[in-house]
Amino acid sequence: MNRTKRDPNAIYDRHGNRIRIWVGNDEEEKEIDRKMWNTLLKKGFGSLKKHIIYFLIRYPKILITLFSNEIRKEKIRKLIIKEMMKMKQEPKYIRLEYKKTSLKLSFFSSIPMIKEVIIDDQYNANFKNLKNKIIIDAGANVGLFSFFALMLGAKKAYAFEPVKETYNVLKNDIKINKLENKLIAINKALGDKNETKTISFTNAGDVEASLKEERKKGKLEESILIIKLDDFVKENKLKRVDFIKMDVEGYEENVLLGAKETIKKWKPILSFSAYHLPTDKERLPKVVLSIRPDYRIKLNKYADENFYCE
Protein backbone atom coordinates (compact mmCIF):
# COMPACT_ATOMS: atom_id res chain seq x y z
CA MET A 1 0.00 0.00 0.00
CA ASN A 2 1.12 3.53 -0.77
CA ARG A 3 1.66 5.14 2.66
CA THR A 4 2.71 8.63 1.59
CA LYS A 5 0.73 11.50 3.11
CA ARG A 6 -2.61 11.85 1.38
CA ASP A 7 -4.08 15.00 -0.10
CA PRO A 8 -7.53 15.33 1.55
CA ASN A 9 -8.98 16.69 -1.69
CA ALA A 10 -7.60 13.91 -3.91
CA ILE A 11 -9.12 10.60 -4.99
CA TYR A 12 -7.38 7.33 -4.01
CA ASP A 13 -8.04 3.66 -4.69
CA ARG A 14 -8.34 1.13 -1.87
CA HIS A 15 -4.61 0.37 -2.14
CA GLY A 16 -3.69 4.01 -1.51
CA ASN A 17 -2.79 4.87 -5.11
CA ARG A 18 -3.93 8.26 -6.34
CA ILE A 19 -6.21 8.48 -9.35
CA ARG A 20 -6.82 11.80 -11.10
CA ILE A 21 -10.01 12.31 -13.09
CA TRP A 22 -10.84 15.13 -15.51
CA VAL A 23 -13.88 15.92 -17.64
CA GLY A 24 -13.36 17.95 -20.78
CA ASN A 25 -14.45 19.11 -24.21
CA ASP A 26 -12.80 20.95 -27.09
CA GLU A 27 -12.50 24.18 -25.07
CA GLU A 28 -11.89 23.26 -21.43
CA GLU A 29 -10.89 20.50 -19.05
CA LYS A 30 -11.65 20.42 -15.32
CA GLU A 31 -10.36 18.06 -12.65
CA ILE A 32 -12.82 16.38 -10.31
CA ASP A 33 -11.80 16.54 -6.63
CA ARG A 34 -12.93 14.09 -3.97
CA LYS A 35 -15.90 16.16 -2.81
CA MET A 36 -17.25 16.58 -6.33
CA TRP A 37 -16.57 12.91 -7.08
CA ASN A 38 -18.64 11.81 -4.08
CA THR A 39 -21.43 14.20 -5.07
CA LEU A 40 -21.45 12.90 -8.63
CA LEU A 41 -21.66 9.29 -7.47
CA LYS A 42 -24.39 9.95 -4.92
CA LYS A 43 -26.54 12.49 -6.74
CA GLY A 44 -25.69 12.51 -10.43
CA PHE A 45 -25.31 8.75 -10.84
CA GLY A 46 -27.64 7.51 -8.15
CA SER A 47 -31.41 7.62 -8.48
CA LEU A 48 -32.11 10.82 -10.41
CA LYS A 49 -35.72 10.99 -9.24
CA LYS A 50 -34.71 10.34 -5.62
CA HIS A 51 -32.62 13.53 -5.63
CA ILE A 52 -35.19 15.69 -7.40
CA ILE A 53 -35.19 18.37 -4.66
CA TYR A 54 -31.40 18.64 -4.87
CA PHE A 55 -31.54 19.26 -8.62
CA LEU A 56 -34.53 21.59 -8.31
CA ILE A 57 -32.61 23.85 -5.93
CA ARG A 58 -29.09 23.57 -7.31
CA TYR A 59 -29.53 22.95 -11.04
CA PRO A 60 -33.01 24.00 -12.24
CA LYS A 61 -31.78 24.21 -15.85
CA ILE A 62 -31.51 20.45 -16.13
CA LEU A 63 -34.64 19.59 -14.15
CA ILE A 64 -36.74 19.22 -17.29
CA THR A 65 -34.45 16.50 -18.60
CA LEU A 66 -34.70 14.27 -15.54
CA PHE A 67 -38.07 12.82 -16.49
CA SER A 68 -37.83 13.17 -20.25
CA ASN A 69 -38.38 10.02 -22.28
CA GLU A 70 -36.78 11.68 -25.28
CA ILE A 71 -33.36 12.29 -23.73
CA ARG A 72 -31.20 9.27 -22.94
CA LYS A 73 -29.45 8.83 -19.61
CA GLU A 74 -26.04 9.42 -21.19
CA LYS A 75 -27.20 12.89 -22.27
CA ILE A 76 -28.61 13.59 -18.81
CA ARG A 77 -25.31 12.60 -17.18
CA LYS A 78 -23.43 15.04 -19.41
CA LEU A 79 -25.82 17.85 -18.50
CA ILE A 80 -25.45 17.05 -14.80
CA ILE A 81 -21.65 17.13 -15.05
CA LYS A 82 -21.76 20.36 -17.07
CA GLU A 83 -23.80 22.12 -14.38
CA MET A 84 -21.93 20.62 -11.42
CA MET A 85 -18.52 21.44 -12.88
CA LYS A 86 -19.66 24.87 -14.13
CA MET A 87 -18.56 24.15 -17.69
CA LYS A 88 -19.54 26.30 -20.65
CA GLN A 89 -20.32 23.30 -22.85
CA GLU A 90 -21.22 19.68 -22.30
CA PRO A 91 -18.20 17.45 -21.59
CA LYS A 92 -17.11 15.08 -24.36
CA TYR A 93 -14.72 12.83 -22.48
CA ILE A 94 -13.41 11.61 -19.14
CA ARG A 95 -9.64 11.44 -18.71
CA LEU A 96 -7.94 9.31 -16.07
CA GLU A 97 -4.36 9.30 -14.81
CA TYR A 98 -3.34 6.29 -12.75
CA LYS A 99 0.12 4.90 -11.96
CA LYS A 100 1.73 7.18 -14.58
CA THR A 101 -0.62 5.98 -17.32
CA SER A 102 -3.43 7.90 -18.99
CA LEU A 103 -6.82 6.85 -20.36
CA LYS A 104 -9.56 8.77 -22.16
CA LEU A 105 -13.18 7.56 -22.14
CA SER A 106 -16.14 8.88 -24.11
CA PHE A 107 -18.94 7.18 -22.17
CA PHE A 108 -20.06 9.13 -19.09
CA SER A 109 -22.11 6.37 -17.50
CA SER A 110 -18.67 4.77 -16.93
CA ILE A 111 -18.28 6.94 -13.81
CA PRO A 112 -19.87 4.45 -11.34
CA MET A 113 -17.83 1.68 -13.00
CA ILE A 114 -14.63 3.67 -12.40
CA LYS A 115 -15.39 3.50 -8.69
CA GLU A 116 -16.08 -0.24 -8.70
CA VAL A 117 -13.43 -1.44 -11.15
CA ILE A 118 -10.51 0.91 -10.41
CA ILE A 119 -11.03 2.66 -7.07
CA ASP A 120 -12.55 -0.33 -5.25
CA ASP A 121 -10.55 -2.77 -7.43
CA GLN A 122 -13.55 -5.08 -7.36
CA TYR A 123 -11.84 -7.87 -9.31
CA ASN A 124 -8.62 -7.69 -7.27
CA ALA A 125 -6.59 -7.07 -10.43
CA ASN A 126 -4.18 -4.83 -8.55
CA PHE A 127 -3.42 -7.57 -6.04
CA LYS A 128 -1.28 -9.48 -8.54
CA ASN A 129 1.26 -8.20 -11.02
CA LEU A 130 -0.52 -8.15 -14.38
CA LYS A 131 2.56 -7.05 -16.29
CA ASN A 132 2.81 -8.95 -19.60
CA LYS A 133 -0.27 -11.04 -18.76
CA ILE A 134 -3.01 -12.15 -21.18
CA ILE A 135 -6.48 -11.11 -20.02
CA ILE A 136 -9.94 -12.41 -20.92
CA ASP A 137 -12.77 -9.97 -20.12
CA ALA A 138 -16.16 -11.73 -20.29
CA GLY A 139 -19.03 -9.27 -20.14
CA ALA A 140 -16.74 -6.37 -20.97
CA ASN A 141 -19.45 -3.73 -21.32
CA VAL A 142 -17.56 -0.56 -22.38
CA GLY A 143 -14.27 -2.28 -21.54
CA LEU A 144 -13.23 -0.49 -18.37
CA PHE A 145 -11.69 -3.60 -16.79
CA SER A 146 -9.69 -4.32 -19.96
CA PHE A 147 -8.42 -0.74 -20.07
CA PHE A 148 -7.55 -0.98 -16.36
CA ALA A 149 -5.62 -4.22 -16.90
CA LEU A 150 -3.58 -2.53 -19.62
CA MET A 151 -2.91 0.40 -17.28
CA LEU A 152 -1.52 -2.19 -14.85
CA GLY A 153 0.84 -3.51 -17.53
CA ALA A 154 -1.09 -6.38 -19.13
CA LYS A 155 0.29 -7.48 -22.49
CA LYS A 156 -3.07 -7.94 -24.21
CA ALA A 157 -6.77 -8.04 -23.33
CA TYR A 158 -9.59 -9.77 -25.19
CA ALA A 159 -12.89 -8.06 -24.37
CA PHE A 160 -16.13 -9.92 -25.16
CA GLU A 161 -19.19 -7.65 -25.43
CA PRO A 162 -22.25 -8.98 -27.29
CA VAL A 163 -24.51 -5.88 -27.36
CA LYS A 164 -23.68 -4.09 -30.61
CA GLU A 165 -24.21 -0.53 -29.38
CA THR A 166 -22.07 -1.09 -26.28
CA TYR A 167 -19.43 -2.85 -28.39
CA ASN A 168 -19.30 0.22 -30.66
CA VAL A 169 -18.60 2.46 -27.65
CA LEU A 170 -15.76 0.10 -26.67
CA LYS A 171 -14.32 0.10 -30.19
CA ASN A 172 -14.42 3.90 -30.28
CA ASP A 173 -12.52 4.23 -26.99
CA ILE A 174 -9.93 1.68 -28.13
CA LYS A 175 -9.32 3.89 -31.16
CA ILE A 176 -9.19 7.09 -29.08
CA ASN A 177 -6.49 5.55 -26.87
CA LYS A 178 -4.60 3.97 -29.81
CA LEU A 179 -4.80 0.51 -28.27
CA GLU A 180 -5.90 -1.44 -31.35
CA ASN A 181 -2.97 -3.86 -30.99
CA LYS A 182 -3.43 -4.45 -27.26
CA LEU A 183 -7.18 -4.46 -26.64
CA ILE A 184 -9.12 -6.76 -28.94
CA ALA A 185 -12.90 -6.28 -28.83
CA ILE A 186 -15.08 -9.25 -29.81
CA ASN A 187 -18.78 -8.67 -30.53
CA LYS A 188 -19.81 -12.01 -29.03
CA ALA A 189 -20.68 -13.51 -25.66
CA LEU A 190 -18.91 -16.40 -23.97
CA GLY A 191 -20.81 -19.51 -22.91
CA ASP A 192 -20.76 -23.31 -22.78
CA LYS A 193 -21.80 -23.92 -26.40
CA ASN A 194 -21.64 -22.19 -29.75
CA GLU A 195 -25.12 -20.84 -30.44
CA THR A 196 -27.32 -17.82 -31.08
CA LYS A 197 -29.50 -16.41 -28.28
CA THR A 198 -31.46 -13.28 -27.42
CA ILE A 199 -30.06 -10.80 -24.92
CA SER A 200 -32.16 -8.24 -23.05
CA PHE A 201 -30.83 -4.74 -22.34
CA THR A 202 -31.93 -1.13 -21.82
CA ASN A 203 -29.33 0.95 -23.66
CA ALA A 204 -25.63 1.14 -24.51
CA GLY A 205 -23.52 0.40 -21.46
CA ASP A 206 -26.35 -1.38 -19.63
CA VAL A 207 -24.53 -3.31 -16.89
CA GLU A 208 -27.53 -5.61 -16.43
CA ALA A 209 -27.81 -6.88 -20.02
CA SER A 210 -28.64 -10.55 -19.54
CA LEU A 211 -29.09 -13.86 -21.33
CA LYS A 212 -30.85 -15.45 -18.35
CA GLU A 213 -34.67 -15.41 -18.54
CA GLU A 214 -35.03 -14.70 -14.82
CA ARG A 215 -32.76 -11.64 -15.10
CA LYS A 216 -34.10 -10.09 -18.30
CA LYS A 217 -35.18 -6.55 -17.39
CA GLY A 218 -34.42 -4.48 -20.47
CA LYS A 219 -36.91 -3.13 -22.98
CA LEU A 220 -34.65 -3.95 -25.93
CA GLU A 221 -33.62 -7.32 -27.30
CA GLU A 222 -30.88 -8.35 -29.69
CA SER A 223 -29.84 -11.64 -31.26
CA ILE A 224 -26.21 -12.39 -30.36
CA LEU A 225 -23.56 -15.01 -31.01
CA ILE A 226 -22.21 -17.11 -28.15
CA ILE A 227 -18.94 -19.03 -28.35
CA LYS A 228 -16.87 -21.18 -26.01
CA LEU A 229 -13.64 -19.67 -24.72
CA ASP A 230 -11.87 -22.98 -25.41
CA ASP A 231 -12.75 -22.68 -29.11
CA PHE A 232 -11.67 -19.04 -29.23
CA VAL A 233 -8.31 -19.90 -27.65
CA LYS A 234 -7.70 -22.68 -30.19
CA GLU A 235 -8.85 -20.71 -33.24
CA ASN A 236 -6.71 -17.71 -32.31
CA LYS A 237 -3.76 -19.85 -31.20
CA LEU A 238 -3.37 -18.13 -27.84
CA LYS A 239 -0.20 -19.30 -26.14
CA ARG A 240 -1.62 -18.74 -22.67
CA VAL A 241 -4.41 -17.13 -20.63
CA ASP A 242 -3.44 -15.59 -17.28
CA PHE A 243 -6.54 -13.84 -15.92
CA ILE A 244 -10.25 -14.33 -16.64
CA LYS A 245 -12.71 -11.71 -15.40
CA MET A 246 -16.44 -12.45 -15.63
CA ASP A 247 -19.47 -10.26 -15.00
CA VAL A 248 -22.14 -11.84 -17.18
CA GLU A 249 -25.39 -11.44 -15.25
CA GLY A 250 -25.90 -15.03 -14.12
CA TYR A 251 -24.12 -16.69 -17.05
CA GLU A 252 -20.89 -17.28 -15.10
CA GLU A 253 -21.34 -21.05 -14.85
CA ASN A 254 -21.85 -21.30 -18.60
CA VAL A 255 -18.66 -19.34 -19.26
CA LEU A 256 -16.68 -21.55 -16.88
CA LEU A 257 -17.95 -24.74 -18.51
CA GLY A 258 -17.02 -23.40 -21.94
CA ALA A 259 -13.50 -22.66 -20.67
CA LYS A 260 -12.71 -26.05 -19.10
CA GLU A 261 -9.69 -26.87 -21.24
CA THR A 262 -8.25 -23.37 -20.91
CA ILE A 263 -8.61 -23.48 -17.13
CA LYS A 264 -7.18 -27.01 -16.87
CA LYS A 265 -4.18 -26.15 -19.01
CA TRP A 266 -3.08 -22.80 -17.55
CA LYS A 267 -4.92 -22.33 -14.25
CA PRO A 268 -5.53 -18.61 -14.86
CA ILE A 269 -6.67 -16.37 -12.02
CA LEU A 270 -10.48 -16.30 -12.09
CA SER A 271 -12.33 -13.25 -10.79
CA PHE A 272 -16.08 -13.17 -11.24
CA SER A 273 -19.40 -11.96 -9.86
CA ALA A 274 -20.94 -14.00 -7.05
CA TYR A 275 -24.37 -12.41 -6.62
CA HIS A 276 -26.45 -12.60 -9.80
CA LEU A 277 -28.33 -15.83 -9.03
CA PRO A 278 -29.47 -17.13 -5.60
CA THR A 279 -27.41 -20.31 -6.08
CA ASP A 280 -24.17 -18.58 -7.18
CA LYS A 281 -22.34 -18.62 -3.83
CA GLU A 282 -22.86 -22.35 -3.40
CA ARG A 283 -22.78 -23.49 -7.01
CA LEU A 284 -19.95 -21.54 -8.67
CA PRO A 285 -17.09 -22.64 -6.35
CA LYS A 286 -18.12 -26.27 -6.98
CA VAL A 287 -17.95 -25.71 -10.73
CA VAL A 288 -14.46 -24.20 -10.46
CA LEU A 289 -13.19 -27.04 -8.26
CA SER A 290 -14.70 -29.67 -10.56
CA ILE A 291 -12.44 -28.32 -13.30
CA ARG A 292 -9.31 -27.83 -11.16
CA PRO A 293 -9.45 -28.90 -7.50
CA ASP A 294 -6.23 -27.03 -6.67
CA TYR A 295 -7.81 -23.55 -6.84
CA ARG A 296 -7.99 -21.46 -3.68
CA ILE A 297 -11.27 -19.53 -3.68
CA LYS A 298 -12.05 -16.38 -1.73
CA LEU A 299 -15.26 -14.34 -1.60
CA ASN A 300 -14.36 -10.64 -1.75
CA LYS A 301 -16.66 -7.73 -0.92
CA TYR A 302 -14.66 -4.73 -2.10
CA ALA A 303 -17.67 -3.57 -4.14
CA ASP A 304 -20.24 -6.12 -5.32
CA GLU A 305 -19.52 -9.65 -4.06
CA ASN A 306 -16.92 -11.38 -6.17
CA PHE A 307 -15.14 -14.75 -6.20
CA TYR A 308 -11.35 -14.63 -6.58
CA CYS A 309 -9.73 -17.93 -7.51
CA GLU A 310 -5.99 -18.60 -7.76
CATH code, domain carrying 141: 3.40.50.150
Q: Indicate whether 111 belongs to any domain.
A: no
Helices and strands counted in the chain (H then E):
10, 15
Which pLDDT score is estimated for 4?
65
Q: Max Cα separation, the chain?
A: 59
The answer on 147 and 210 residing in a single domain is yes
**Would the pLDDT of 283 be above 90?**
yes
Confidence category of residue 130, pLDDT binned at 50, 70, 90: very high
Give the range with max mean pLDDT: 62-76, 84-98, 133-147. 133-147
Rounded to 5°, angle at Cα 281 from 288 and 221? 90
Angstrom CA distances, 140 to 32, 75, 90, 298, stand at 25, 22, 26, 22
The answer on 280 and 238 residing in a single domain is yes
The answer on 227 and 137 residing in a single domain is yes
Q: Indicate whether 99 belongs to any domain.
A: no
Which pLDDT score is estimated for 187?
97
Confidence category of residue 57, pLDDT binned at 50, 70, 90: low
Confidence category of residue 212, pLDDT binned at 50, 70, 90: very low
**Would the pLDDT of 170 be above 80?**
yes
The answer on 177 and 74 residing in a single domain is no
Across the chain, mean pLDDT equals: 87
CA neighbor of 147 nearest in space, from 94, 71, 199, 82: 94
Which pLDDT score is estimated for 111?
85
Q: Indicate whether 13 belongs to any domain.
A: no
Write out the residue range of the structural domain in which residue 84 sits.
34-92
Lowest mean pLDDT among 22-31, 100-109, 256-265: 100-109
Q: What total of structural domains would you count in the chain?
A: 2
Angstrom CA distances, 97 to 91, 108, 148, 152, 262, stand at 17, 16, 11, 12, 33
Which pLDDT score is estimated for 208?
53
Phi, then psi, of 148 in degrees rounded to 5: -60, -45
The answer on 145 and 49 residing in a single domain is no
The percentage of residues in the chain with a pLDDT greater than 70, rounded to a whole number, is 83
Q: Indicate whether 25 belongs to any domain.
A: no
The answer on 186 and 86 residing in a single domain is no
Which pLDDT score is estimated for 79?
80
Which pLDDT score is estimated for 204?
54
Lowest mean pLDDT among 53-62, 89-98, 224-233, 270-279: 53-62
The pTM for the full model equals: 0.87
**Would the pLDDT of 51 be above 70?**
no
pLDDT tens column, 69-95: 444 667 777 887 888 889 999 899 999
- Averaged pLDDT, 121-147: 93
The answer on 72 and 160 residing in a single domain is no
CA neighbor of 302 nearest in space, from 275, 265, 267, 264: 275
Which pLDDT score is estimated for 160?
98
The answer on 295 and 193 residing in a single domain is yes
**Would the pLDDT of 61 be above 70?**
no
Cβ contacts of residue 45 below 8 Å, gap of 6+?
77, 109, 111, 112
Q: Indicate whether 110 belongs to any domain.
A: no
Angstrom CA distances, 244 to 92, 127, 206, 265, stand at 31, 14, 21, 13
The answer on 187 and 292 residing in a single domain is yes
Residue that is last in its domain, among 92, 109, 142: 92
Partner residues linked to 244 by β-bridges = 136, 270
Lowest mean pLDDT among 133-137, 202-206, 255-259: 202-206
**Would the pLDDT of 252 be above 70?**
yes
